[in-house]
């Protein structure tokens, strides 16, 4: 009989056959969040619905109209150029914001487009790629890993509300029309 193991940390569902489970408790390491848990303690007849993101804040009532950059293309502004904006917050809380017209930029301790003074960051740790109005972060085989919203990530799309962490450094990445 099929059932689902649901990771207690990230709610990822994995289909398992109850008849193939061993008689003793079986441990499973979640591939998404790396949490180890006992399968028999987290079995369900069907997977739980995915977690919902918190609702967007209400629009500012000052008369300003905001549009998502993909909406601008539909409104006849298809020739618009996009700029990658990266806010870097170090462990001591100091922040700096950098802007790039290039579609790709690397982040690391060594010879990278964005240099970070953090001993837990690899020389070439992360690549940020802008694809039109979206952003993909790619771990470049770093020693300590890349985390998006505190979950391990190798390559993942990120939005304005997502937080990317490498070592003790936090990044917020967005795309602006230029």
The rounded Cα 54 to chain-centroid distance in angstroms is 16
pLDDT at residue 168, rounded to an integer: 94
Work out the percent of the chain whose per-residue pLDDT is above 90: 40
Is the model more confident about 67 or about 111?
111
pTM attached to this predicted model = 0.56
Q: Evaluate whether 118 touches 146 at the Cβ level (below 8 Å).
A: no
pLDDT in tens, 119-158: 999 999 999 998 877 899 999 999 999 999 999 999 999 9
CB contact at 8 A, 116 and 169: yes
Q: What local confidence, expressed as pLDDT, does residue 2 receive?
A: 66
Reported confidence tier of residue 42, pLDDT bands at 50, 70, 90: low
For the chain, helix, strand, coil in percent to 5 are 5, 40, 50
């Amino acid at each position: 009989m099929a059932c689902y193991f649901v990771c207690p940390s990230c709610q990822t569902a994995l289909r398992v056959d109850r008849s193939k489970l061993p008689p003793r408790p079986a441990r499973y390491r979640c591939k998404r969040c790396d949490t180890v848990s006992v399968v028999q303690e987290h079995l369900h007849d069907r997977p739980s619905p995915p977690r919902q993101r918190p609702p967007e804040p209400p629009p500012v009532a000052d008369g300003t109209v905001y549009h998502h950059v993909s909406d601008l293309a539909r409104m006849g502004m298809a020739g618009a150029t996009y700029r990658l904006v990266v806010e870097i917050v170090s462990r001591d809380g100091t922040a700096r914001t950098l802007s790039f017209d290039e579609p790709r930029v690397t982040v690391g301790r060594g010879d990278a487009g964005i240099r970070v003074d953090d001993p837990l960051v690899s020389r070439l740790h992360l690549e940020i790629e802008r694809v039109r109005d979206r952003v993909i972060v790619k771990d470049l085989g770093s020693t300590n890993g890349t985390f998006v919203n505190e979950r391990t990530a190798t390559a993942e799309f990120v939005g304005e509300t997502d937080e990317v962490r490498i070592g003790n450094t936090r990044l917020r990445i967005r795309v602006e029309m230029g």
